Amino acid sequence: MLSHPRKKILCIIGTRPEAIKMAPLILGLKEQDWVEVRILATAQHRDLLDQTLMDFSIVPDIDLDIMQPNQSLISLTGKLLLELDKVLLAEKPDAVLAQGDTTTVLAASLACFYAGVPFGHIEAGLRTGDINSPFPEEANRVMTGVLAHWHFAPTSSAAENLLAERTPGHKVFITGNTVIDALHYTAAREISLSVPLDHTKRMILVTAHRRENFGQPFVDICTAIKMIAVNNPDVEVLFPVHPNPSIRTVAYELLGNVANLHLVNPLGYQEFVMAMKLASFIISDSGGVQEEAPALGKPVLVMRESSERPEAIAAGCSRLVGTDVGVIVGEAEKLLNNPDEYKKMAIGVSPYGDGKASARIIGVLREHFC
């Protein structure tokens, strides 16, 4: 018999990375007898979210189905706030949890602040210090950092960022990143890739989607990826293309006809993890991939000017290459042709967690509520 009534915890997810990073926490909370877990999908991403939730067998209780083709940040934020207002009134949760720095997270933390519901921020404290990079994520996480009640920081440097902003120390908890929990859960299961690759060749895995890279920087990224593929016919390049039209249209237009460059639809999480395991190295502007690849011993060339994930760069397993064609191609050629350079980066460290982040977050919430 429980001495207290169960606490209602509403978990909000909007995009692919939020689903991946919230999944271990949702599955862990569901095992707690003191929690009633409710899952709200804003569906800021429709296809990518559904694809990812299926991998973790998670079914949302509420679905706002908010995604529109080519959605603008302002209309998305406005719609989310209005819909979240209704949900918070109807559900009356004891706490709300959301992860990261998307528009869904900013709207969720603001709605909770207005409604007086304590908000727990998963992956708190990441900063580049440049409000425009990444855009709009740096602004989203800074604003959410002001509004949140619990700050679950993945690393000590993320916690230090929060303390430097005068976040009260008793609200900051260093937990590790739940993405490593998700990776452990998934990487143990071997599956075969649906993409027909020549497995006798080395493979480079590519992803790109950042808004600050739209336009000329993404054209430059495509030029670099094409040069790498054309210059190295003994290598396979696998590029699962993000559905954002600003990425997809350009990628298919510029990279369509190269025999060893495979443009494919986004891969489900299990298959993408398999692709990371099979890759020689990864070229990406993704946040999550910067955390997962080091844990799998895969070097990452990060196509950004700055990163809020300095730990992997400091450890030597990822390198900022920006979007300059010459730099991207030069760094990739180094990894392909210089075994010592490759060995230096393929070291297999996990600065973002040990796979127990969700358990630590649940522990903090249990302590608070029970």
Q: Which residues are catalytic?
A: 101, 123, 137, 209, 211, 242
The reply to whether 353 sits near ligand UDP by the rule CB under 6 A is: no
Shortest distance (Å) from residue 295 CB to ligand UDP: 11
Q: 73-91 and 103-115 are packed helices; what angle lies between their axes, rounded to 10 degrees? A: 40
- In the complex, what is the shortest distance from the CB of residue 370 to ligand UDP, in angstroms, rounded to a whole number? 31
Q: From the CB of 209, what's the least distance to ligand UDP, in Å?
A: 5
Q: Which stretch binds ligand UDP (CB under 6 A): 80-88, 263-271, 297-305, 351-359?
A: 263-271
**Binding of ligand UD1 at residue 65 (CB under 6 A)?**
no
Q: Give yes or no for residue 71 binding ligand UD1 (CB under 6 A).
A: yes
Q: Does 126 bind ligand UDP (CB under 6 A)?
A: no
Interface with ligand UDP, residue 16, by CB under 6 A: yes
Residue 137 interacts with ligand UD1 (CB under 6 A)?
Answer: yes
For position 136 contacting ligand UDP by CB under 6 A, the verdict is: no
Tell me whether residue 154 or residue 266 sits nearer to ligand UDP (CB atom): 266
Which residue number places its CB atom closest to ligand UD1?
Answer: 102
Stretch that binds ligand UDP, among 27-35, 191-199, 213-221, 261-269 (CB under 6 A): 261-269
- Binds ligand UDP (CB under 6 A): choice among 152, 272, 281, 352: 272
Stretch of residues binding ligand UD1 (CB under 6 A), selected from 23-31, 66-74, 87-95, 300-308: 66-74
Kindly tell me which of 195 and 325 has the beta carbon lying closer to ligand UDP: 195
How many chain residues bind ligand UDP (CB under 6 A)?
16
Residue 185 CA to residue 26 CA, distance in Å, equals 13
The 8 Å CB, 24+ separation contacts for 187-192 are 187/273, 187/277, 187/296, 189/270, 190/274, 191/270, 191/271, 191/274, 192/274
Min dist CB 96 to ligand UDP, Å, is: 20
Rule CB under 6 A: choose which of 21, 29, 44, 176 binds ligand UD1. 44
Say whether residue 312 binds ligand UDP (CB under 6 A). Answer: no
User: What separation in angstroms does the CA of 29 have from each of 23, 75, 105, 335?
Assistant: 10, 32, 19, 42
Nearer to ligand UD1, 60 or 345 (CB): 60
102 binds ligand UD1 (CB under 6 A): yes
Could you tell which of ligand UD1, ligand UDP, none binds residue 20, using a CB distance below 5 to 8 A set by kind?
Answer: ligand UDP
The residue from 218, 239, 269, 352 that contacts ligand UDP (CB under 6 A) is 269
Residue 288, interface with ligand UDP (CB under 6 A)?
yes
Q: How far is the CB of 210 from ligand UDP (least distance, A)?
A: 7
Q: 337: exposed, middle or buried (C-beta count within 10 Å: 0-12, 13-18, 19+)?
A: exposed
**SS3 sequence of the chain:** CCCCCCEEEEEEECCHHHHHHHHHHHHHHHCCCCEEEEEEECCCCCHHHHHHHHHCCCCCCEECCCCCCCCCHHHHHHHHHHHHHHHHHHHCCCEEEEECCCHHHHHHHHHHHHHCCCEEEECCCCCCCCCCCCCCHHHHHHHHHHHCCEEEECCHHHHHHHHHCCCCHHHEEECCCHHHHHHHHHHCCCCCCCCCCCCCCEEEEEECCCHHHCCHHHHHHHHHHHHHHHHCCCEEEEEECCCCHHHHHHHHHHHCCCCCEEEECCCCHHHHHHHHHHCCEEEECCHHHHHHHHHCCCCEEECCCCCCCHHHHHHCCEEECCCCHHHHHHHHHHHHHCHHHHHHHCCCCCCCCCCCHHHHHHHHHHHHHC
Minimum Å gap between C-beta 144 and ligand UDP is 14
Name the site residues for ligand UDP (rule: CB under 6 A): 16-17, 20, 179, 207, 209, 240, 266-267, 269, 272, 286-289, 292
Name the site residues for ligand UD1 (rule: CB under 6 A): 15-17, 44-48, 67-71, 73, 76, 101-103, 136-137, 209, 243-245
